């Protein structure tokens, strides 16, 4: 039986498990919420200038929501880029593409396995950040009802559901960044350049978002999509930003993914 | 219907901008050959091998491995294995895990050699669980052979497999390649080591500036070059004049110690020895010398000047 995408995917995960940078990213995803909660507990204040900031001492459910807002600036894009920017370029660094491409799997299967592994890592990073933030938040502030952006109070179990759904919506721009990281990794063939490039792209889009006179662009910027989950925390839920996030993120991510695949399929594998 | 040859290359070209790395190469490697692929650095050997393995796209021409095109699908590599330049592995995985990865990408172990078996062949079983980043160059080369053997190949493409090995490692690598050849595996061996190719290969291709300068058997190549002779007489000055006037004899070089010449055939040499005796310059020493592969390699890759100088210099400087 010939090997396929699943075999490549399993081995990509195995390779990720064997590399330190994987744990660096996942470790940061777990450590940042803990540090944040420790700071809240020991400092006593709360971040007033962000949504849900004033509720962090009332309910642990507010902690992951605040973290999503802070993390969108550079933390989660950087964690995502650590693997997405490296997953193809590291093959160039180790000159191992020639090894895997002369076995019995087609190039498109290798690329698909790598893309799936990068996505898995990004999902895992967000899940770890969310779960740790929830756990630490609940330990510090309790499992209490949460006040939505519309001012209505929802029960703690319902709030937990909304936090889970928010994390899922938050994954949309994260996956778009994963695709951009994959593209840069494939084109640059250099992990450092691809990781920094991905982060720079994310920061540049945010800078465009604060430029005066470009407010018409805001709904279509990738940085804006990091806030789409807030639609879920209104009563009734506002689906418009979530639906927009869906297609805007697809608009950023899918062409990048297609371009990465095309470059990977057509490239010459020679020592650089 | 006869099976297609293991390697059939026709009109292969690879251009990088203005530079033509491989220029209209034709090559046929037949089943059972241990085929030497020779050329100086930058001649286009590795680029050709990469195209044969489907790693880079030809600018023109075609490659067929057992009749299949590696540019279309990786299925063309069924029964084919090898490596270009140094074999590469994931440094953060053990040798064993790297082999497991190779085996998994080959579709598991159904019909393939077992990892234990190939580790035994390359004598790496004791270090198999160590991470590859701790391996020496020679161990990586052997791991490369092991990963190739996992596919139970019918065709093995090896790019400078002895590069960087110590003398014992080179000897072991040669023994391994000879053994693989004797098992009926067709081998394409790209190498700089003339003695290695001379010892192992039955056919060779010599590539120069991206073009094939010679393809055929070693015996044909030697015959084409002919035999040179070293001559000493009692009067070398007179002998030089006699040689110059003798049909079928071409003087290659002269020195105070001896004279080197090339003859069309042995009859011409016999006639020359009689002519020398009759002219009052009887023969003191007449020694034939077959050109080595190295001589022929230089003839073909560097033109007529270098080989003649090298070979002839050796001839006239050899002690009597």
Query: What is this model's ipTM?
Result: 0.90
Encoded tokens for A105: 């799997």
The answer to whether the CB atoms of A18 and B147 lie below 8 A apart is no
% of chain B with per-residue pLDDT over 70? 92
- DSSP H or E run through A153: strand A153-154
What pLDDT score was predicted for residue B304? 47
B19-29 sheet: strands from edge to edge = B19-29, B7-16, B60-65
What would the pLDDT profile of A62-117 be if each residue is shown by its tens digit?
999 999 998 988 899 999 999 999 999 999 999 999 999 999 999 999 999 999 99
Instruction: Give the distance from CA B52 to its chain's centroid.
Output: 17
Which of A7, A102, A265 is best to mutate for the B interface (most B CBs within 10 A)?
A: A102
pLDDT of B75 > 80? The answer is yes
Per mean pLDDT, which range of A163-172, A242-251, B83-92 is the poorest? B83-92
Q: Which residue of A has its CA nearest to B86?
A: A95
| pLDDT higher than 50, residue B164 | yes
Asked if B212 contacts B39 with a C-beta cutoff of 8 angstroms, the reply is no
Residue B307 banded pLDDT, cuts 50, 70, 90: very low
Whole-angstrom distance, CA of residue B87 vs CA of residue A39:
51
B chain contacts of residue A8, beta-carbon cutoff 8 Å: 105
Closest-CA residue of A relative to B87 is A99
Residue contact A101–B55, C-beta within 8 A: yes
Residue B320 has pLDDT above 50, yes or no: no
- Of the ranges A159-173, B21-35, B202-216, B226-240, which one carries the lowest mean pLDDT score? B226-240
Looking at the complex, does the CB of residue A99 fall below 8 Å from at least one CB of chain B? yes
Per residue in B178-191, pLDDT (tens digit) is: 888 888 999 999 98
Query: Which residues 6+ apart lie within 8 Å of B146 measured at CB?
Result: B99, B118, B119, B121, B122, B124
Alpha helices in chain A (DSSP H): 5-17, 20-43, 62-71, 75-84, 89-93, 97-100, 107-141, 156-188, 191-210, 222-225, 240-266
Q: How confident is the model over B84-141, as pLDDT tens digits?
A: 888 999 999 999 999 999 999 998 876 667 899 999 888 899 999 999 999 998 899 8
Both tokens assigned to B183: 């098992």
d(CA A107, CA A96): 13
Spatial contact of A243 and A173, defined as CB atoms under 8 Å apart = no
- The region of weakest confidence among B113-117, B139-143, B265-269, B301-305 is B301-305
Q: A102 and B54 in contact by Cβ < 8 A?
A: yes
pLDDT at res. B264: 82
The mean-pLDDT minimum among A163-177, B13-27, B56-70, B249-263 falls in B249-263
Encoding tokens for residue B318? 């050899």
State the pLDDT at residue B309: 46
Average pLDDT, chain B: 87
A272 in B contact zone (CB under 8 Å)? no
Q: Is B91 within 8 Å of chain A by CB?
A: yes
Q: Closest Cα to residue A74, out of A199, A185, A201?
A: A199
Give B-chain residues touching A2 at CB under 8 angstroms. 107
Contact B107 A15 (CB under 8 A): no
Nearest by CB to residue B55, choosing from A1, A18, A269, is A269
Q: Which residue has the higher pLDDT, B162 or A105?
A: A105
Q: Which residue of B has its CA nearest to A95?
A: B88
**Beta-carbon separation of A95 and B53 below 8 A:** no
Q: What is the mean pLDDT of residues B156-162?
A: 90
Q: Does the structure show a pLDDT above 90 at A247?
A: yes
Tell me, what's the pLDDT at B173? 84
pLDDT score recorded for residue B227: 75
């Amino acid at each position: 039986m010939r090997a396929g995408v699943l075999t490549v995917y399993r081995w990509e995960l195995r390779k990720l498990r064997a590399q330190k940078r994987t744990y660096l990213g996942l470790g940061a995803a777990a450590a940042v919420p803990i540090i944040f909660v420790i700071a809240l507990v020991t400092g006593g204040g709360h971040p007033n200038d962000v949504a849900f900031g004033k509720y962090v001492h009332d309910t642990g459910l507010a902690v992951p929501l605040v973290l999503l807002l802070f993390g969108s600036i550079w933390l989660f894009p950087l964690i995502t880029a650590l693997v997405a920017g490296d997953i193809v370029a590291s093959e160039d660094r180790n000159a191992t593409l020639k090894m895997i491409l002369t076995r019995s799997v087609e190039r498109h299967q290798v690329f698909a396995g790598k893309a799936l592994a990068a996505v898995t890592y990004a999902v895992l990073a967000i899940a770890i950040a969310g779960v740790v933030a929830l756990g630490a938040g609940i330990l510090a502030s309790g499992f209490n009802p949460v006040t939505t952006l519309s001012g209505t109070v929802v029960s703690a179990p319902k709030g937990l559901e909304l936090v889970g759904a928010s994390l899922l919506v938050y994954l949309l721009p994260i996956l778009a960044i994963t695709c951009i990281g994959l593209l840069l990794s494939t084109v640059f063939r250099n992990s450092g350049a691809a990781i920094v490039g991905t982060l720079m792209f994310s920061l540049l889009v945010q800078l465009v978002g604060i430029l005066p006179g470009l407010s018409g662009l805001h709904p279509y910027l990738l940085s804006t999509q990091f806030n789409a989950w807030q639609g879920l925390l209104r009563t009734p839920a506002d689906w418009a930003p979530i639906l927009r996030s869906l297609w805007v993120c697809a608009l950023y991510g899918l062409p990048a993914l297609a371009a990465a695949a095309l470059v990977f399929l057509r490239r010459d594998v020679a020592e650089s | 219907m006869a099976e297609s040859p293991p390697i059939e290359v026709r009109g292969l070209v690879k251009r990088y901008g203005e530079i033509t790395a491989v220029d209209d190469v034709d090559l046929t490697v037949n089943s059972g050959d241990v085929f030497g692929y020779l050329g100086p650095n930058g001649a286009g050997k590795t680029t050709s091998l990469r195209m044969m393995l489907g790693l880079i796209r030809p600018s023109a021409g075609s490659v067929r491995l057992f009749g299949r095109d590696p540019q279309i699908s990786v299925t063309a590599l069924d029964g084919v294995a090898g490596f270009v330049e140094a074999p590469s592995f994931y440094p953060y995985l053990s040798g064993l895990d790297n082999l497991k990865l190779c085996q998994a990408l080959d579709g598991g172990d159904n019909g393939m050699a077992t990892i234990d078996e190939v580790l035994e062949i390359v004598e790496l079983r004791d270090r198999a669980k160590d991470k590859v980043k701790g391996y020496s160059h020679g161990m990586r080369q052997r791991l490369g052979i092991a990963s190739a053997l996992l596919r139970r190949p019918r065709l093995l493409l090896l790019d400078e497999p002895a590069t960087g090995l110590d003398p014992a490692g080179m000897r072991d690598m040669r023994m391994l390649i000879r053994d693989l050849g004797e098992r009926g595996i067709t081998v394409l061996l790209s190498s700089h080591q003339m003695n290695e190719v001379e010892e192992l290969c039955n056919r060779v291709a010599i590539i120069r500036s991206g073009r094939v300068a010679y393809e055929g058997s070693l015996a044909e190549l030697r015959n084409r070059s002919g035999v040179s002779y070293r001559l000493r007489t009692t009067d070398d000055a007179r002998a030089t004049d006699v040689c110059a006037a003798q049909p079928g004899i071409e003087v290659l070089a002269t020195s105070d110690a001896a004279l080197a010449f090339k003859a069309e055939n042995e009859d011409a040499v016999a006639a020359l020895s009689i002519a020398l005796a009759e002219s009052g310059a009887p023969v003191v020493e007449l020694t034939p010398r077959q050109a080595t592969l190295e001589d022929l390699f230089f003839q073909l890759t560097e033109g007529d000047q270098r080989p003649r100088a090298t070979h002839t210099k050796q001839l006239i400087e050899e002690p009597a």
